[in-house]
Structure 1
Amino acid sequence: MSGEILRRAELRFVNGTVVLYILRGGDFLHTHEGITLVAVAEAVAKLKRYDFEGRYDSARAYPGHVYFVPDDTMISAAAQELGIASAADLFGGVVPYAFMKTKAMTHELVDIEAEVLPGYTVFSTSAARTAATRLWAHGAVRVKHPLASGGRGQSLAAGLNELETILEAVSASDIAQHGLVLETNLREVRTLSVGQVILGGLDLTISYHGAQRVTTDNKGRSAYGGSDLVCMRGGWEALERLRLSSEVRTAVAQARQYDDATRECPGFMASRRNYDVGQGMDSTGQPRSGVFESSWRAGGASSAEIAALTAFTQDPTLTVVHASSVEEYGDGIEPPRGAMVHFEGVDAKAGPIIRYTVITRMSRDPI
């Protein structure tokens, strides 16, 4: 059933054009991430009743309104050159400075009541040592490279020797340009996702909560395995109609507070907002919860977001859609019935992998 919902749409329209804007070099569009992004962009075009014209070509004149699907959060200057004037012009987000699109944006607050985990963003090795010294009062410190994703680019430092080893592996110029994130390490951590998507021209907003899947990649490492989302028709307040656990209610409140703060930033705009909220215990046994990453670009959960948008568009009586984006490593994996498979094969970097989206439940009443 969900596969039919995901596929049901005409292919050619004249209201405008959806194009991919690719910032990553090489053969990104031939990777499992790139191929999935193409599937997301094609689905967006069908929803908006626009043509899909593939990768953006500055030498071409596109008919009608041009809607961009970038592979990363855009910087204001580049967005302005493309004619992106509002969130209605792209699936993703725009920020004024490069560091704001990474984990580096999140930190300075360390209050236990803060909406983020105790931590700091630093731009020098000396600042990293100072930050770690303050955080060691809560136990081991997790050091994150802001440009890394999928749980990679992270290391633990329980003391100065371990921290120095981590810092030696990163150039001073890299730290100065992109920063490093240091935050309290959590045990028994669970990552919840809270987000919202507004697709210009549809007069439709969806908000969701969900949880990330953790899987094992082809090298035996823990990796992102997709997201299970509970999507509601409407803004943030729509989530309040769901029966939420106290942990999820806390995550939603913290994500909303974080999102409210972004609106105070001049030059910020986004049609897609996703916040990862980490919940667990610090080394003293104190429960912790807070936003540790924000995303305003098409991401791992986006195929599920678009699947939910499609379902809501095709059935105006729906109020709740459960949709999942799934990434599994290895050979011979059978997707569930009704799934929309985006990639199944051997990726040059990841190895054998399958990526698919499936709608598991739809309802006309909040549950």
Structure 2
Amino acid sequence: MAEVAPSRICAVALRRCLDRDPQGHEAETHRALVRRIARLIGADYANDPADDCAQRAECYFVPDRTLVAEEADALGIGGEADLFGGVVPYAFVATKTISHGLIGAAATAPDGWSHALGEALGDAVLPGYSVFTREDLRRAGRMLLGGGPVRVKAAHEAGGNGQCVVATERELDDHVATLTEAMLQRYGAVVERDLIEATTFSIGQARIGVHEIAYFGMQRQTVDHRGQEVYGGSDLTVVRGRFDDLLAHALPDAMHRAIEQVRHYDAEVMRAYPGVWATRRNYDVVAGLDRDGRHWSGVLEQSWRIGGASAAEIAAIEALLAEPSCTLVRASSYETYTGEAPDGAEIHYRGRDGQVGLLVKYSLVHPQ
């Protein structure tokens, strides 16, 4: 890694998801992680660009969502030395809709849509379509139902929210009736093959200042206070470098394939949308079986912003800095509804959130 560090004296926790509770667990976690990032780059911390620190400082921004180019320009973000996250030319490029093509040449799409990307992604993604009208959603769903149940996902939702599995045309029509044309036109939705016995891999690379890592791992599920299965954290194996450096390590076949799919997906997206750049690139890859027992693997979506695995990413960078001779670390992020955390955990949220109740979020680096 390069040893020339950017000069930064203020790391800013930039809130752009203004519909979220500013005192909720997501906002509190965001602020806690930005404080850790500030320590990594030798910076002060600011909660907002209006804070005194940000007003008098050259800033390193950590937004809670991917920025559109106009937003980045207005903040003076000129490149990777200014941001932990990503920048896109159009808002839809930050959503899961880019993972699939349209149902046909006449299908509705937002301005700036790349008609070539869907085909270029090939088998790096599951069979599926992106849609921006209810009629296109019906057509796409019916096309896919011949191969088994399909999953419909609202493009602007995260963490498994806004999703529904349908197995018949009647179920599809009932679900379409719950969606508005205005929502679909603004955000879009994804319709894709549903898998059973599925495993979700996390593949990513991240750069904070001069510190650059790549990782592979798996997501965990846990049970919340409503008895629902929700995201419970990520277990990562982290190395210095980028995606290519992961392939130098011995990997199970499924993980090797997932990394290759991510490399292809990442390269094709950057080719289709040249205005995209990101210092945090996290990709979810699912592997599982369809109704007929056929195995599928594919990238579900990208995250070019601070996210659920970022606590483990930051912990790994801290561990690599502490041991310069170390080439690989294992780090995990956790979200638990028991209120407990083990000794040695770096806790970044502990409290009773107004939406989800008692919650603890922390990270750990595992002994080698």
TM-score (norm 1): 0.90
Answer whether contact 2:46 2:54 (CA < 8 A) is retained.
Answer: no
The amino acid of 1:284's aligned partner reads D
Query: Are positions 1:167 and 2:176 aligned together?
Result: yes
Query: Shift of the alpha carbon at 1:113?
Result: 5.6
Corresponding residue for residue 112 of structure 2: none
Residue equivalent to 1:195? 204
Query: What residue is the counterpart of 1:288 in the other structure?
Result: 296
Give the share of equivalent positions with the same residue, in percent.
39
- Aligned residue number for residue 341 of structure 1: 347
What is the CA distance between 1:235 and its match in structure 2?
1.6
Q: How much does 1:73 deviate?
A: 0.6
Q: Which residue of 1 aligns with 2:3?
A: none
Cα distance in 1 between the residues matched to 2:188 and 2:340: 41
Corresponding residue for 1:253?
A: 260
1:308 and 2:301 correspond? no
User: How does 1:1-367 map onto structure 2 within 5 Å?
Assistant: 15-25=8-18, 28-57=21-50, 62-108=55-101, 109=118, 114-200=123-209, 202=210, 204-264=211-271, 265-330=273-338, 333-362=339-368
Change (3 A) 1:176 1:46: same
CA contact (8 A) 1:111 1:118 kept: no
How far, CA to CA, are the matches of 1:154 and 1:98 in structure 2?
A: 20
* Cα deviation code 1:203-240 (max 9, x no counterpart): x3100000000111111111111101100111222212
Cα separation, 1, equivalents of 2:21 and 2:83: 20
User: C-alpha offsets along residues 242-299 of structure 1, whole Å, 9 cap, x if unaligned?
Assistant: 2210000010100111111232222111000000000000112110000011100000
- Matched to 2:351, the amino acid is G
Measured on the aligned residues, the alpha-carbon RMSD in Å equals: 1.8
**Residue identity matched to 1:30:** Q
Q: Conserved in 2, the CA contact under 8 Å of 1:110 and 1:117? A: no
Amino acid at match of 2:93: M
**What is the rounded CA distance, in whole Å, between the counterparts of 1:207 and 1:27 in structure 2?**
30
Q: Please say if residues 272 and 298 of structure 1, whose CA atoms lie closer than 8 Å, have aligned partners that are also in contact.
A: yes
Deviations 1:110-139 (A, max 9, x none): 899610111110001111111112111220
Q: Give how far 1:59 is off.
A: 8.5
Quote the Cα distance in structure 2 between the aligned partners of 1:73 and 1:212. Answer: 21
Listed one character per residue, the Cα deviations across residues 296-317 of structure 1 (whole Å, up to 9, x for unaligned) are: 0000000110111111122211
Q: Which moved more, 1:237-246 or 1:117-126?
A: 237-246
Whole-Å Cα distance in 1 between the matches of residues 179 and 312 of structure 2? 35
Q: Which amino acid aligns with 1:242?
A: H
Deviation of the 1:15 alpha carbon = 4.0
State the one-letter code of the partner of 1:172.
Answer: E
- Which amino acid counterpart does residue 163 of structure 2 have in structure 1? Q
Give the corresponding residue for 1:10. none
Deviation sequence 1:53-103 (CA, Å, 0-9, x none): 222218876344311000001111111111111122111001111111111
Equivalenced residue count is 345
Displacement of 1:29 after TM fit? 3.3
State whether residues 138 and 176 of structure 2, in contact with CA within 8 Å, keep that contact through their aligned partners in structure 1: no
TM-score, with length taken from structure 2: 0.90
Deviation at 1:28, TM superposition (A): 3.1
CA distance change for structure 1 residues 111 and 132 in 2, over 3 Å: closer, same or farther? farther
Q: What secondary structure does 2:244 align onto?
A: helix
Q: 2:217 is matched by which residue type in structure 1?
A: G
1:42–1:130 distance in 2 versus 1, CA, 3 Å: same
Give the whole-Å Cα distance in 1 for the aligned partners of 2:130 and 2:39.
40
Partner of 1:114, secondary structure, is helix
